[in-house]
Amino acid sequence: MSSPVLKSPLSKSLRIALIQLKAGADKAANLAKVSKYIDDAVAGSKTKLDLVMLPECFNSPYAVDQFRNYAELIPQGETTNALASLARKHKIFIVGGSIPELDPSLDNKIFNTSLTFSPEGEIIAKHRKTHLFDIDIPNGITFKELVTLTGGDKATVFKLGEFGNVGLGICYDIRFPELASIASRSPYNSFAMFYPGAFNTTTGPLHWHLLARSRAVDNELFTVLCSPARDVEGGGYQAYGHSLVADPLGNIIAEAGEGEEILYAELDKDLLPKAREGIPVHYQRRFDVYGDFVGEGRAKVSDL
């Protein structure tokens, strides 16, 4: 199939800041830190920022036995309110990392949930981590989210205002290429996948960059990964850090270190059509050979 002349799914270049911070046990202090970092990111940006992103579990320790203690209702909880007012204050989109969510309508189950806010402070996306991080690597890492969390049951794609559509996944979700495929294909045609994620010092060096670049190249879109900072003094779970942005050709165009940091990047609207025109895999899929799970009525996609 020949490639059509392409209009970019990203209508205007997007300027973003990723806040790589470490969270402690004091939720109020974590929220105060987020507020200060977002103020600093906006003030320190050379051009007007469009979007700020936070890491997975930015207002609680990343620990199975703590999720219920920190869980909040959505949208009534204090973290939702705090992020909504920061989005309004700075007139920016906020991809709000993730928080433990308590859902009384589902037997008080706990989810690992990511919210995105519009510059007016409205919730425009809600993704519940679909694939729970449940692994056991001898002499490496054992982590069992399934002990206290329930997995979400939908892929999440939404409209980021005038910029275009994006998809959202959380951490371990990046290992499952299907969510990014759903977001990138018709009828969604997203320009980016956002993944708040807290990889660790065992699997981070192995796969963090590889997965970001793979999802980007598979789908010819941007991937944006925001991690907590490493917490050497605090002990407990050690996040990998290295928040990063990969472009639609798989190049890493911005990358943080391991400590607390604000990472700036620009998603250039012209890169995406160039990638898809040059290497037109986007139009060469052989659904007659392997079928297609994306499209009207097939995949379960959040309609928020």
User: Where does residue 196 rank: exposed (0-12), middle (13-18), buried (19+ CB within 10 A)?
Assistant: buried
In whole angstroms, how far apart are CA 1 and each of 4, 71, 248, 261, 276? 9, 49, 21, 45, 13
- Closer Cβ to ligand AKG, 14 or 226, answer by number: 226
Cα–Cα distances in Å, from 188 out to 191, 220, 290? 9, 14, 20
Catalytic residue status for 129: yes
The active-site residue, picked from 33, 101, 126, 171, is 171
Smaller CB separation from ligand AKG, 109 or 207? 207
| Least distance between ligand AKG and beta carbon 162 (Å) | 32
Residue for token pair 């909504």: 84
If the CB atoms of residues 76 and 139 are measured against ligand AKG, the closer one turns out to be: 139
Minimum CB distance to ligand AKG smaller for 68 or for 298 = 68
Tokens standing for residue 206? 């192995």
Q: Give catalytic status of residue 144 as yes or no.
A: no
Site residues (vs ligand AKG, CB under 6 A): 56, 133, 171-172, 175, 198-200, 203, 207
Q: Give the β-pairing of 93-95 and 109-117.
A: antiparallel
**Pair type for strands 14-20 and 51-53:** parallel
Contact 157, 183 (CB under 8 A): yes
CB of 95 vs ligand AKG, minimal distance in Å: 16
Beta carbon of residue 210, minimum distance to ligand AKG (angstroms, whole number): 11
* Helix (H/G/I), strand (E/B), else coil: 222: strand
In the complex, least distance from residue 207 CB atom to ligand AKG, rounded to whole angstroms: 6
Residue 56 is a catalytic residue:
yes
User: Which listed residue (56, 72, 101, 220) is catalytic?
Assistant: 56
Which DSSP category does 145 fall into?
G
> Is the CB of residue 29 less than 8 Å from the CB of residue 234?
no
Query: Which residues are CB-neighbours of 103 under 8 A, at least 6 positions away?
Result: 73, 109, 110, 111
Least distance in Å: CB of 239 to ligand AKG? Answer: 8
Indicate the residue among 86 and 244 with the shorter CB distance to ligand AKG.
244
Q: Which active-site residues does the annotation give? A: 56, 129, 171
